[in-house]
């Protein structure tokens, strides 16, 4: 059996989920939807399936102890510790350089929620088959609303188990998002990818040669300590960071997608979390996720508190978050802007 090698990326600060998500314990390591953290969910949804090898975790040095604590008894192939953050393209390249070049990589963010893990695993196996045919494969999430906060993939020609990608579309305005949804030809780009390790590095060398060379140098001069791997800091720090989308996926002639419906959410802000938790809300759509709350004449209100009781009267589509000495009150429409607040930006 050809194993699929998960690569779980633990970057990103989750500032739009402030004040719960903070630098010391950011979004991936919080139990936002279930009792497990989003990172633990990402690890566990693949851990007991024989199609998948032990994962490679790529993370910054600030959260290594937290990662190892949350892994518990789950074995990992490697914990790659980036000396500095340089976005997803070089992070993925580190893992690719550490794997046999014919290995199939499954790149997964650590901070997404997937309600149907079985559908995710089935899509991963379909993506792996395309990757073995030298496609660089993105997961195309079936859209259920005209979302303006995600990038889109336009479906191209049919392939076995998927489609070519006709084009990548940046976050659209509402009218274009509505047109994409109505056409049925577009999927959300969920930031989940599969490719052969060597093929990814070849494409990176073609489109971002300096980045590919510096990653290779950082790996060659890196240090292993048990399961931990430390890339050489100077070489890695010299990289001009870029996302896998911009560096590779939008430039390759071999981009493909597998369509999937799996109850996916990036939990990108408090409104997205409220959507992911909607099945737990009362008949008016109100939910006290943590702590005590009283609702009077409210609808669509989400509350989270680590102490004080929250009492809400006559509110609609509001999120109220209390964490330590910080209190956030936002409309669901305003939730996208939370990361710009001084409290979130100046932690």
Dihedrals φ, ψ of 125, to 5°?
Answer: -70, -40
Boundary-marking domain end, from 265, 289, 323: 265
Q: Summarize the confidence of residues 42-51 as an average pLDDT.
A: 94
Beta bridge partners of 255: 136
Q: What percent of the chain has pLDDT over 90?
A: 95
Q: Is the pLDDT of residue 287 over 70?
A: yes
Q: Is the pLDDT of residue 321 over 80?
A: yes
- Closest Cα to residue 282, out of 268, 273, 294, 271? 294
- 226, burial (CB in 10 Å: exposed 0-12, middle 13-18, buried 19+): exposed
Boundary-marking domain end, from 265, 291, 309: 265
Q: What is the pTM of this model?
A: 0.95
Beta bridge partners of 8: 57, 108
Residues 88 and 164 in one domain: yes
- Within 10 angstroms of residue 74's Cβ, the number of other Cβ atoms is 14
pLDDT for the residue numbered 13: 78
Residues 151 and 255 in one domain: yes
Q: How confident is the model at residue 1 (pLDDT cuts 50, 70, 90)?
A: low
Q: What is the average pLDDT score of the chain?
A: 96
Q: Using an 8 Å Cβ cutoff, are 101 and 134 in contact?
A: no
Distance between CA 35 and CA 80 in Å, rounded? Answer: 26
pLDDT digits (tens, 9 = 90+) for 174-193: 999 999 999 999 999 999 99
**38-47 and 64-71 helices cross at what angle (nearest 10)?**
50
Domain interval for residue 96: 4-265
Q: Using an 8 Å Cβ cutoff, are 182 and 93 in contact?
A: no
Residues 40 and 64 in one domain: yes
- How many CA within 13 A on the CB side of residue 244? 25
Q: Using an 8 Å Cβ cutoff, are 16 and 338 in contact?
A: yes
Helix, strand, or coil (residue 52): strand
Residues 333 and 250 in one domain: no
Distance between CA 156 and CA 165 in Å, rounded? Answer: 5
pLDDT for the residue numbered 11: 83
Q: Is the pLDDT of residue 12 over 80?
A: no
Q: Is the pLDDT of residue 347 over 70?
A: yes
Q: Summarize the confidence of residues 229-234 as an average pLDDT.
A: 99
Residues 234 and 328 in one domain: no
Residues 188 and 100 in one domain: yes
Domain count, the chain: 2
């Amino acid at each position: 059996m050809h194993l699929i090698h998960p690569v779980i990326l633990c970057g990103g600060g989750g500032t739009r989920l402030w004040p719960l998500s903070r630098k010391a314990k950011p979004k991936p390591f919080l139990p936002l939807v279930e009792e497990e953290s989003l990172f633990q969910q990402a690890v566990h949804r693949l851990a007991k399936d024989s199609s998948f090898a032990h994962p490679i975790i790529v993370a910054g040095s600030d959260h290594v102890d937290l990662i190892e604590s949350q892994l518990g008894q789950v074995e990992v192939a490697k914990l790659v510790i980036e000396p500095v953050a340089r976005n997803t393209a070089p992070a993925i390249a580190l893992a690719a350089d550490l794997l046999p070049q014919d290995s199939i990589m499954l790149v997964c963010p650590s901070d997404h929620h997937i309600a149907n893990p079985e559908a995710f695993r089935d899509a991963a196996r379909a993506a792996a088959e395309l990757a073995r045919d030298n496609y660089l494969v993105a997961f195309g999430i079936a859209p259920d609303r005209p979302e303006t906060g995600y990038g889109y993939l336009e479906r191209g020609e049919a392939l076995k188990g998927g489609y070519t990608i006709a084009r990548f579309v940046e976050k659209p305005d509402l009218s274009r998002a509505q047109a994409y949804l109505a056409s049925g030809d577009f999927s959300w780009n969920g930031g989940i990818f599969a490719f052969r390790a060597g093929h990814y590095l070849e494409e990176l060398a073609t489109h971002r040669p300096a980045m590919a060379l510096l990653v290779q140098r950082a790996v060659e001069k890196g240090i292993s300590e048990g399961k931990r791997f430390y890339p050489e800091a100077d070489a890695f720090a010299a990289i001009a960071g870029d996302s896998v989308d911009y560096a590779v996926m939008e430039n390759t002639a071999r981009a493909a997608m597998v369509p999937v419906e799996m109850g996916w959410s990036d939990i990108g802000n408090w409104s997205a979390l409220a959507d992911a938790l909607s099945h737990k809300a009362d008949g008016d759509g109100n939910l006290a996720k943590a702590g005590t709350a009283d609702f009077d004449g409210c609808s669509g209100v989400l509350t989270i508190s680590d102490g004080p009781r929250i009492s809400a009267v006559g509110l609609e589509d509001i999120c109220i978050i209390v964490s330590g000495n910080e209190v956030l009150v936002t409309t669901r429409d305003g939730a996208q802007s939370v990361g710009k607040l001084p409290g979130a930006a100046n932690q």
